Chains A and B, each alone.
Chain A
Amino acid sequence: MRRVSRSRGATRSSDESSFDLETELEHLHPRNFGWALSCCGWDREEAADVLQTTYLKVLDGRARFGNRSLFSTWLYGVIRRTAMERRRRRTTRKILLLRHAREFVPTPLVSTGTLSVHAGRLQEALATLPRRQREILHLVFYDDLSIREAAEIMGIGIGSARVHYDRAKKRLRRSLGEEYQEGIKG
């Protein structure tokens, strides 16, 4: 089994202090699931599939940690790519099966059944944002990452990441409206 080492709360590969890759995946799992949900438009089944595929890729060695960043950052990138691959495949399938479109019942993009009103509204507002804007807000505010780390995960430059970040905040402010203003005052 491949082994990586922990560093600054995340991990870097090293020969000195190492531990199981599976243990590290398990340790990061809750955050991974949140990120997978965001990448999949809060479709829980799809997020679970994406996460399983990602874990198998990592454990089988199909996705290899190149030690060029934090392990958690790299893993987020793998989750994001896996979700995009599956989305592309699903789109192709829908096009090919277009004649059965009447029978196709799309799953709701946002399922806020178990969330409070505030959290549900935030999730709905996030769902209206473009993908990159949604991703950067999630990485910065949900995962407490810096804009630079978010840019690395998203595979874009730091300048583009800042632009997405600013636009995302403005759009989210507009979407949340009064509730947002009350939150600032309160």
Chain B
Amino acid sequence: MNSNEEEDDLKAKFGELRAQQESGFPGFHSILDRAPRRTTHVETGWIKCDGWIPGLALAAVIAAFVWIASTGNPSLEERFFVDGPSAPAPFVLGQLVVGEWSMPTDSLLDLSALPGDGLLNELPEIGILPIQAPDGAQNESSKQRIPA
């Protein structure tokens, strides 16, 4: 098969296709002045926009607003802090860290007891509190006994 013959044949075929297509083409000005197809037209009161992206954005904003309204209006603390404001804060005393401190609540009802009495009664149970030396080692002289 000759390459030139092949190309001539293709040119003839494409020429026929072009002649038939061009006869049905719309004119230049009808193309230029035609109204573009619109996928979405959003017009709600003071909002007017065309295209699907503004439509989706508007729908997303409305959905977010409805979601917030339906879930109430929780405070920022409840929304963003996992433990919440009522979580017990760790009590730090020297090298002694007491994360959970329990105390009988009966003493709270005992009006004759002074504030802090319960704490003083509990401390002897801990015993000797080691005080860490600056180099990290512990020795006997550094141990102090907390008076009862």
Interface string of A162-186 (1 = CB under 8 A from B): 0000000100110000001001100
Task: Please count how many residues in chain B sit with their CB below 8 Å of the partner chain's CB atoms.
Answer: 30
**Complex: how many Å from CA A45 to CA B26?**
11
Give 6 new A-B contacts, CB below 8 A, not counting A33-B26, A141-B14, A183-B13. A123-B17, A141-B13, A142-B14, A142-B17, A169-B10, A173-B6
Whether A52 contacts B25 by the Cβ 8 Å rule is: no
| Interface-located stretch among B29-37, B61-69, B89-97, B136-144 | B29-37
Interface secondary structure of B, over-half rule: helix
The smallest beta-carbon distance between B105 and chain A, in angstroms, is 57
**Taking the complex as formed, is A122 at the interface, i.e. its CB lies under 8 A from any CB of chain B?**
yes
**Taking the complex as formed, is B21 at the interface, i.e. its CB lies under 8 A from any CB of chain A?**
yes
Interface string of A15-38 (1 = CB under 8 A from B): 000000000011001100110010
A158 partner residues in chain B, CB cutoff 8 A: none
Whether A169 contacts B6 by the Cβ 8 Å rule is: yes
B1 partner residues in chain A, CB cutoff 8 A: 184
Interface string of B1-13 (1 = CB under 8 A from A): 1000111011111
Closest 5 A-B residue pairs measured CB to CB? A141-B14, A29-B28, A26-B28, A119-B17, A183-B9
B: residues with CB less than 8 A from A are 1, 5-7, 9-14, 16-18, 20-22, 24-29, 31-32, 34, 36-37, 39, 52, 56
The smallest beta-carbon distance between B121 and chain A, in angstroms, is 67
Question: Nearest CB to that of B29 among chain A residues?
Answer: A26
Among B6, B25, B29, the residue within 8 A (CB) of A30 is B25
Whether B14 contacts A30 by the Cβ 8 Å rule is: no
The smallest beta-carbon distance between A148 and chain B, in angstroms, is 16
A119 partner residues in chain B, CB cutoff 8 A: 13, 16-17, 20-21
The smallest beta-carbon distance between A87 and chain B, in angstroms, is 15
**Complex: how many Å from CA A52 to CA B31?**
6
Whether A141 contacts B11 by the Cβ 8 Å rule is: yes
**Complex: how many Å from CA A119 to CA B52?**
37
**Taking the complex as formed, is A115 at the interface, i.e. its CB lies under 8 A from any CB of chain B?**
yes
Whether B10 contacts A55 by the Cβ 8 Å rule is: no
Whether A141 contacts B20 by the Cβ 8 Å rule is: no
The smallest beta-carbon distance between A104 and chain B, in angstroms, is 13
Assess A118 versus B16: contact at CB under 8 Å? Given A30-B22, A34-B22.
Answer: yes
